[in-house]
Amino acid sequence: MTNSVTVTVSATTANLGPGFDCIGAALSLHNQFRFSRRGSNSHDSLAIAVTGLDAEQVKTDDSNLAYQAFTKLYCHLGQPVPPVQIEIDLGVPLARGLGSSATAIVGGLLGANELAGVPLAQEQIMELAIALEGHPDNVVPALIGGCQLSASNADGNWTICDVPWHGDIIPILAIPNFELSTREARRVLPTHYSRADAIFNVAHLGLLLRGLEAAKADWLRTALQDRIHQPYRQTLIAGFDQVQAAAIAAGAYGLVISGAGPALLALTNVDRAEAVEAAIATTWKSVGITAQVKPLKLEERGAWVERF
């Protein structure tokens, strides 16, 4: 019987411009969750310790999201929730549009599954994760890795499609020193869209899939445009227009809002990565925003588990 397990889960960037709520990619930035059984004679059935980025903002009682996911799996199995100690080390900043909640959900589900003896397959874990998160674009790549497209079926289940990502495409992540809640980012979206906007996004998502596979610059420059969420959300992000223009001028194929924001993601090639990184940082600083800007990699492997 496994008594302790560590689950490492990647940050994710969702939407990628026109792929609103259906496409996401795992990035080489991680949160780590360690789950250890507590003895039956322990005074408390739950103990949570948090270190790393924004640790002071994470709840350490039974409302903690990783613990909520942990209990969800045992409830799904019809088994009592065991006493557990959870140690969380955060490398993914909160409320920036980088899937921090998805890492907690995936971490909690996988940790519980391991301590329960691995009764559920990855696909079953994925279905539980989507149900908890409400949409698939972050939890699916966080669990599986790579870039993933998710589509719902008539029976309520999901079909997941791996999206080829050419090795020459470099993601440049820019994380500003302010937060933006997903609730606020969704509040500004309209409830209805025109037929022209729907057609625009369908065409651009199709082109994005081909552009990511081929690393064809002119395809990607067009494909990263969007009419469903970015025109509304960019008003919540100070300096967005200036940063986008500077990144493209420096050689980026485009710059998009990562998830609900306010983090931004530029795609470029290795030859222009350094120039794009500098342009984003300098431009945001010119409007009073300090940002961490760094080139990352697509995280091909999904969440991984170490048993102790």
Tens-place pLDDT, residues 258-308? 999 999 999 999 999 999 999 999 999 999 999 999 999 999 999 999 998
**Is the confidence at residue 43, as pLDDT, over 80?**
no
Q: What is the pLDDT of residue 224?
A: 98
Tens-place pLDDT, residues 105-126? 999 999 999 999 999 999 999 9
Say whether 170-295 and 4-163+298-307 share the same fold: no
Banded pLDDT at 42 (limits 50, 70, 90): low
Q: What is the pLDDT of residue 180?
A: 87
C-beta atoms surrounding 306 within 10 Å: 12
Q: What is the pLDDT of residue 39?
A: 78
Phi, psi of 18 (to 5 degrees): -80, -5
pTM: 0.95
Tens-place pLDDT, residues 64-103? 999 999 999 999 999 999 999 999 999 999 999 999 999 9
Q: What is the pLDDT of residue 41?
A: 67
Q: Which residues pair with 87 in a beta bridge?
A: 34, 49
Query: What's the CATH architecture for 170-295?
Result: 2-Layer Sandwich (3.30)
Q: What is the pLDDT of residue 257?
A: 97
Tens-place pLDDT, residues 212-265? 999 999 999 999 999 999 999 999 999 999 999 999 999 999 999 999 999 999
Q: Which of 286, 224, 288 is nearest to 257 (CA)?
A: 224
Q: What is the pLDDT of residue 33?
A: 98
Average pLDDT of the segment spanning 172-195: 93
Long-range Cβ contacts of 127-136 (<8 Å, 24+ apart): 127/157, 127/158, 128/69, 128/72, 128/73, 128/76, 129/69, 129/102, 129/105, 130/158, 132/68, 132/69, 132/72, 132/105, 133/101, 133/102, 133/105, 135/21, 136/21, 136/22, 136/24, 136/160
Query: What's the CATH architecture for 4-163+298-307?
Result: 2-Layer Sandwich (3.30)
**Residue that the structure tokens 């969380």 belong to:** 88
Domain ranges across the chain: 4-163+298-307, 170-295
Q: What is the pLDDT of residue 305?
A: 97
